[in-house]
Amino acid sequence: MAAVAAISTLSAAAAAAGGKRFVVSSFSLSFSSRRVAAPTGLRAAAGGRARRAASASASSAPVVASIAVGDKLPDATLSYFDPADGELKTVTVGELTAGKKAVLFAVPGAFTPTCSQKHLPGFVEKAGELRAKGVDTIACVSVNDAFVMRAWKESLGLGDDVLLLSDGNLELTRALAVEMDLSDKPMGLGVRSRRYALLAEDGVVKVLNVEEGGAFTTSSAEEMLKAL
């Protein structure tokens, strides 16, 4: 499959790529959020795992995703621009993780401060160390569309150490029950993904770190390296 071949090419190119330095103007962004109910079809797709989802808002109770260590990742289709030919393509979670050790991490939004200054750059800088520990694929997921993700990558001067994937329809985000509703905020962010990082081996979750609200404490590249 073309998508699988493209991912394999990116992984091979990333192994030889060096780290990048990032300079982004700094300002603070903090928020609390409320959980958005997933559509019936997605809740069903999540199966019995959905019963473990938190029913309270993030501001009053800890976040509980609908997936846990030992579970199989739900399949979902994500999009990206293939740097090899510049074409918009899709790839499924199954294709990304089948027979591989994969790190997926999600950010609330492209171009936002913590995501641009710390979260994404951290995984780029630690990509070599992660691969040295057997990680085949490193991917960043956001609900921004693929065009925004490409522009974000270009603005930071990134190579192909980390694959930037769009979950524009929130298919994966809702299947994992990690969506957060920021529509009551004045910034126009709407529904976003919580910040998280997970390690999957052949599609089975081995490490899962989900953040509260806009926090950035456990989903970093450094924390993932500690868990490997």
**Per annotation, catalytic residue among 10, 115, 198, 199:** 115
Tell how strand 163-166 and strand 137-142 pair up: parallel
- Residues 6 or more apart whose Cβ sits within 8 Å of residue 105: 119, 123, 139, 140, 141, 195, 196, 197, 198, 219, 224
Give DSSP secondary structure letters for 109-175. -TT-HHIIIIIHHHHHHTHHHHHHTT--EEEEEESS-HHHHHHHHHHHT--SSSEEEE-TT-HHHHH
The two tokens of residue 10 are 């990116």
Q: Is 115 a catalytic residue?
A: yes
Distance CA 208, CA 214 (A): 17
Contacts 24+ apart (CB under 8 A), 67-71: 67/176, 67/177, 67/205, 67/208, 68/205, 68/208, 69/205, 69/206, 69/207, 69/208, 70/204, 70/205, 71/204, 71/205
| In the block, residue with structure tokens 């919580």 | 194
So which residues are the catalytic ones?
115
